[in-house]
Amino acid sequence: MLYRVAPAGEGRDVYATLYAQRMFFLVTLQPRGAQFEVIPYLDARHHAELNLARRRRDSSEDYGSWKQLFDQTFI
């Protein structure tokens, strides 16, 4: 099972495995399915940090939820 860690732009999202939280995937949605690419921890964290910075800059109401997810996943 996977859970969404952060959006990565252009129809892509970063997901982590529920049980082995150090495995991350960049998932790209395509018309005929989804493409999964294993990515390193630091790349996943980078996407999540960019998402947090964007939410904070835009004063997004869901910033707190994304921050909590970031802390649970990467700290």
Per-residue pLDDT for the chain (75 aa), expressed as one digit of tens each? Answer: 899 999 998 899 999 998 876 899 999 998 899 999 999 999 999 999 999 999 999 999 999 999 999 999 998
d(CA 29, CA 69) in angstroms, rounded, equals 22
DSSP3 helix / strand / coil % (the chain, rounded to 5): 40, 35, 25
What's the pLDDT at 18?
A: 85
What's the pLDDT at 64?
A: 95
- The residues facing 35 across adjacent strands are 28
User: Model pTM?
Assistant: 0.88
What's the pLDDT at 8?
A: 94
